[in-house]
Structure 1
């Protein structure tokens, strides 16, 4: 399959490197408005560099395009690609608004192409293992969760991260990873309560969000832009029969503890390093396989739209100072 990339920043470079070593896939050009950045990415995969998307699409005729542009450019770019009859893999979040995300979905459906949104946390080994243990009932009925994601304040193209209208802030851009994952584990969200420390001149933005799920569970999520230490992710998922913990800073990266019928606790430690397999590689390979076979992806466009909806509800809650209810479709 011929796959092109538009946007040659950090994520575009990661995807270019992975395409270069993916079997049965050919990098079909890269595009960036910065000619030097495009050339650097193209050299990685031995493909052509472009500064205009239409020129790339005309000359390379890719079967799929990976969109790695700032969030506020997703809708326009995805629709342009879909109108050419080309499948799209787009970095998260899907869009800045739910309406834009649904417009992207509708355009891809109209033109008969697939749209995938890169919520890559579902492909990280420790997170995927945790979800599998929960699904298998290893800790019984899940009741509570706590998710953390801390990193330095991002430096984006044209400083777009600094503009909340374009980036969506720390919830839409960073916490949305854990919003999507928590929903995949706990189910539909029925209410959201959030607090946000507004970004300051020192580039600090901290958000705390509580999600209440239709099944009765609850989860607390924190995200922090401006952390001085290493990029850190943590989670804790508690059920009736045990607890799963993960801390990216710990050598023992995955810890599952369950309660035996005698009441005694036994630890089953499953070490998994995210570096053993590149989750971004696995993610794109999975989406390409879905294109080839017509199967449903691990992360659907509905999942991506729900994540946007929840993130926007959290922003509203922070402004109102009170919980925001979400409509939950009956099952």
Structure 2
């Protein structure tokens, strides 16, 4: 399939480099109003640079476009692509408002093109493996989880992040990864409670999610961390825990209550050869999470099959993030049943 990338910033660069490696696609162009950014990325990924989206659509004739623009622009350019008969892979969050998201869905459906939202969290190997282990019952019934996602403030590089109306801050733009992932593992969210503190170039949030099936998750997100970007997540069940930390050499570790004489995974075992600790050590990735995500989306478009992350999943993740913002503002928990965002 012929693919293109709109937006040549951080995420546009990631998408273009992934497409350049995928055998099932041809990268026919990248586009950005900033000519230097478009030229740089085109040279790096072996394709043509455009400065107007209309020219990319008319001359590049893509089948699929990745929209890697600031969130307030997702609606406009998704509609333009759909009306040109081009499938859309849109970076998260799906849109600035629930109303826009609904219109994007309607317009894409009416033009018979697919709209996929890039929640990449589910495609990282450690996260996917943890989800599989939990579904398989390795740690029993999960009762609690803790997720942490922190890094430098993106507003130091791109000013639009500093406008909360545009970016949604750390909750909507960064923590939404963990919101979507935790919901995919633990089910529907019943209530949301959030606390948040902001200073110039600092945005910190702590969000508690209560799930319909009884589990509770605490999510920590921070823009402005004076160190490298890092993530961690832990699930605790009545038979053990699953722990992931990007800063540890042991990227996946599962400890179970009680030991057996053989390992339950072939990826590794502890020094005694028992099943009390299973370790998958870090190694260079031949295929990134973004490679996996975009390849999966392209295959979904080609086959017409349902993607791992559905449009409905993306809308629900955005709704939970908006509920967290409302809770942080009001100081009160938000019941997700019947929750509607003011102004949407």
By the TM > 0.5 criterion, same fold? yes
Q: Residues 247-326 of structure 1 correspond to what in structure 2 (within 5 A)? A: 247-260=245-258, 266-273=276-283, 275-326=285-336
Which structure 1 segments of 5+ residues have no match? none
Name the CA distance, whole Å, in 2 between partners of 1:55 and 1:236. 47
Map of 1:30 onto structure 2: 30
Change in Cα spacing, 1:78 to 1:209, as seen in structure 2 (3 Å) is: same
Map of 2:243 onto structure 1: 245
Name the CA distance, whole Å, in 2 between partners of 1:58 and 1:91. 23
Equivalent residues of 2:202, 2:223 under 8 A apart = yes
Q: Secondary structure at the match of 1:270?
A: strand
Q: Note the aligned Cα RMSD (angstroms).
A: 1.8
Q: Secondary structure at the match of 2:281?
A: coil
Map of 2:111 onto structure 1: 111
Name the CA distance, whole Å, in 1 between partners of 2:71 and 2:79. 14
Distance apart, 1:32 and its partner CA: 0.1
Map of 2:209 onto structure 1: 211
Q: After the TM superposition, which of the residue ranges 78-87 and 154-163 deviates more from structure 2?
A: 154-163
Q: Residues 1-331 of structure 1 correspond to what in structure 2 (within 5 A)? A: 1-155=1-155, 159-198=159-198, 200-201=199-200, 203-260=201-258, 266-273=276-283, 275-327=285-337
Provide, for residues 130-189 of structure 1, a one-character-per-residue CA deviation record: whole Å limited to 9, x for no partner. Answer: 001111111111110000000000147750000000000000000000000010110000
Distance apart, 1:276 and its partner CA: 4.5
Distance apart, 1:71 and its partner CA: 0.8
Change in Cα spacing, 1:49 to 1:98, as seen in structure 2 (3 Å) is: same
Name the CA distance, whole Å, in 2 between partners of 1:221 and 1:37. 34
Change in Cα spacing, 1:225 to 1:30, as seen in structure 2 (3 Å) is: same
Change in Cα spacing, 1:13 to 1:265, as seen in structure 2 (3 Å) is: closer
Q: After the TM superposition, which of the residue ranges 97-106 and 180-189 deviates more from structure 2?
A: 97-106
Provide, for residues 236-275 of structure 1, a one-character-per-residue CA deviation record: whole Å limited to 9, x for no partner. Answer: 101111100111111111110112389x981122335573
Name the CA distance, whole Å, in 2 between partners of 1:157 and 1:224. 16
Q: TM-score, normalised by structure 1?
A: 0.95
Map of 2:342 onto structure 1: none
Q: TM-score, normalised by structure 2?
A: 0.91
Which structure 2 segments of 5+ residues have no match? 261-273, 339-344
Distance apart, 1:96 and its partner CA: 1.8
Change in Cα spacing, 1:122 to 1:79, as seen in structure 2 (3 Å) is: same
Distance apart, 1:229 and its partner CA: 1.3
Q: Secondary structure at the match of 2:194?
A: strand
Equivalent residues of 1:119, 1:299 under 8 A apart = yes
Name the CA distance, whole Å, in 2 between partners of 1:274 and 1:171. 30
Q: Secondary structure at the match of 2:23?
A: coil
Change in Cα spacing, 1:241 to 1:8, as seen in structure 2 (3 Å) is: same
Change in Cα spacing, 1:246 to 1:274, as seen in structure 2 (3 Å) is: farther
